[in-house]
Structure 1
């Protein structure tokens, strides 16, 4: 098999509004609003520099069916840059930017193949190899029926790649679109499955690779860590994957060692030093304060959450790159960092809950048509486990969220 090299990206969400973000300064807000476009520019720059054989974009190029005009223009310009150097692009639209939207559109250059709303198989010569790429775009927002049966089997003598924006039918964390089972993908005998829709980077299979690259840019506190795409090399049935981070702003949960801190100025200085050493560029950070002694806990108990977060933001504004503090959590062993009398009252209330109390709270979850069938049977063991986890959360964590 001739070696080929390509880029697998998905879930660009260009033009994301970043709703729900609070307390940002004007420059920080501008940086965040531009972050999806900047991450896309980094993807294009990487492709122009490394010249892959082709580029895959597996769904949700845009954040909404209205397809923000500025985002469309930026995307069209990027595609033209790739055309100038002869890099083909294979693009599918997902549930966010489905083909049924009413948005004005830009004409894309001829190097871009946009999949229609039914599965099609496109042939691409790469050197002496023939690469077949199968995929489809969402014709409407909700594609809830399986599409995997429409994908062709691999033909002899070709490299077969599947593009699929969807989720495993057993997934209980996300809305299930174009559901599939891993066994169904494996049965097609493809050389690589390029997935999209799930924003968490993960690999469902190694041989052959079945891969979610995650989204290109985190958009909220649940999309933590490095974000980017995979550069993939296929040769003689073997795959090598390298993750390339390109996020412009990283959402991160950061543990700060607060050992020995007695005064507030020490806390601020300590936070600045540790975040400077973090070296991850622009950050929206959830800070966890660890190893607090009794003196530090008593000091922080008397400070309101709003005041502490705002003071930390001001102290960290002196750093070279922006760090926006979205929340602060005090983490301590046992009950030392109990938040308030209310925290103790809540812990005591949970300790008194009986099986009927838990069943009432969990009723909606267990009755859900999708998630209910995957949940374990409620029994004494599960009740004790839930009670212990809830108590642990209350006792170990004090969340100081920005309420504005």
Structure 2
């Protein structure tokens, strides 16, 4: 006795891609379509795998207005599933809650939408029955423990909980419909289909308690490939297969530039990183963080970014560098300053002396209202303060000139 299904969540159809400027038209269009293409891959997988049903665990749309464009595209995919006799069970989350304002586009009858109260919907096929439990957000902010309303009902071969919510104590997202893992285990489900957290995570294996993450990353914090899960559930076990669906992958890459001496060498090093990503499987939005660079040029990052973006042009599988952050090599900078003038030698010498720290805080410790609340600084604390002062001094010298 076995069933199979797709578990996806957080489609955020028609989501704007934030934090991007001056994109070529081709890249802009691909990003604009990326959430739709990712969801199409989900549906392609469901059809190719001949699953029994699809679970969508909330936030189908990016906003409570549910754009007509997004609704039409979603319905088209639901109709494809209907043509292949595949049922759909979905809940709405905090982004696309039931109390929003939108022009309603009817969905085909293979789509089962959970109401605002925890409800049971039953799937039956070939004498195999499944109870699915879930609820849709009535408003954007659902902060009560809805998990307490999930009650297993006997009379089915399998039981699946659908919950768009946040693990208590997690700070990744707002704490909506909070729960603890022990709460889910106590409900005796065979599978928990979670949504809301955009990072893929398996909270428990027996039974599987699964965040599939979102299907397409939308900004620099949603890195790595995204997707959904193909699940085969039997009386003995559950088999999970992650299916990548990203059209565009966001990445943050560190570059060790300790051996770079010229701008051209730095440019070539960045180009090598870009070419390593260009494998044809994905397009990439990349942020570079350059470390240990031993060059002084306040315009270096902006010049380099402009050139790398110009090189990319209209590539079909693009690698678009959206930002470059250069971490100052403070030790190298300090060494060069010390060689320039005896003035800098005297300046930095002050930050090495504990007496200088004592002089700096002397007036605070002598203040008639403050001194009683202060403890004597330890040697380690004085060293930490001196180090912070030195780093601040170097930063000011870099940013405002010497």
Range into which the TM-score falls when normalised by the shorter chain: 0.7 to 0.9
1:330 deviates by 3.4
Partner of 2:373: none
* Contact 2:95–2:140 (CA under 8 A) maintained in structure 1: yes
* Contact 2:285–2:322 (CA under 8 A) maintained in structure 1: yes
* Aligned ranges 1:8-87 → 2 under 5 Å: 8-87=7-86
* Contact 1:272–1:315 (CA under 8 A) maintained in structure 2: no
Partner of 1:330: 326
- Residues 290 and 281 from structure 1, CA distance in 2 versus in 1: closer, same or farther, beyond 3 angstroms? farther
Give the match's secondary structure for 2:160: strand
- Residues 31 and 171 from structure 1, CA distance in 2 versus in 1: closer, same or farther, beyond 3 angstroms? same
Partner of 1:358: none
1:35 deviates by 1.0
* Contact 1:331–1:337 (CA under 8 A) maintained in structure 2: no
Partner of 2:126: 127
Distance 1:67 1:337 in 2: 53
1:168 deviates by 1.7
* Contact 1:146–1:178 (CA under 8 A) maintained in structure 2: yes
* Aligned ranges 1:257-336 → 2 under 5 Å: 258=257, 260-278=259-277, 279=279, 281-290=282-291, 292=293, 294=294, 297-298=295-296, 301-317=297-313, 320-330=316-326, 335-336=331-332
Distance 1:209 1:63 in 2: 27
Give the match's secondary structure for 1:34: helix
1:283 deviates by 1.1
Partner of 1:240: 239
Give the match's secondary structure for 1:336: helix
1:326 deviates by 1.9
Give the match's secondary structure for 1:163: strand
Partner of 1:114: 113
Computing the radius of gyration over CA atoms, which structure comes out larger, 1 or 2?
2
Uncovered stretches (5+) of structure 1, i.e. residues with no partner: 355-379, 399-404
1:233 deviates by 1.4
Partner of 2:365: none
Partner of 1:98: 97
For each residue in 1:263-305, what CA deviation from the matched residue of structure 2 results, as whole angstroms up to 9, or x when unmatched? 333333332333222235211111133564x3xx34xx34343
Uncovered stretches (5+) of structure 2, i.e. residues with no partner: 338-346, 362-376, 396-402
Give the match's secondary structure for 2:304: helix
- Residues 318 and 22 from structure 1, CA distance in 2 versus in 1: closer, same or farther, beyond 3 angstroms? closer
Paired residues, number? 353
Q: How large is the Cα RMSD of the aligned pairs?
A: 3.2
* Contact 2:131–2:156 (CA under 8 A) maintained in structure 1: no
For each residue in 1:108-154, what CA deviation from the matched residue of structure 2 results, as whole angstroms up to 9, or x when unmatched? 11110011111111111133421111011111111111111111125
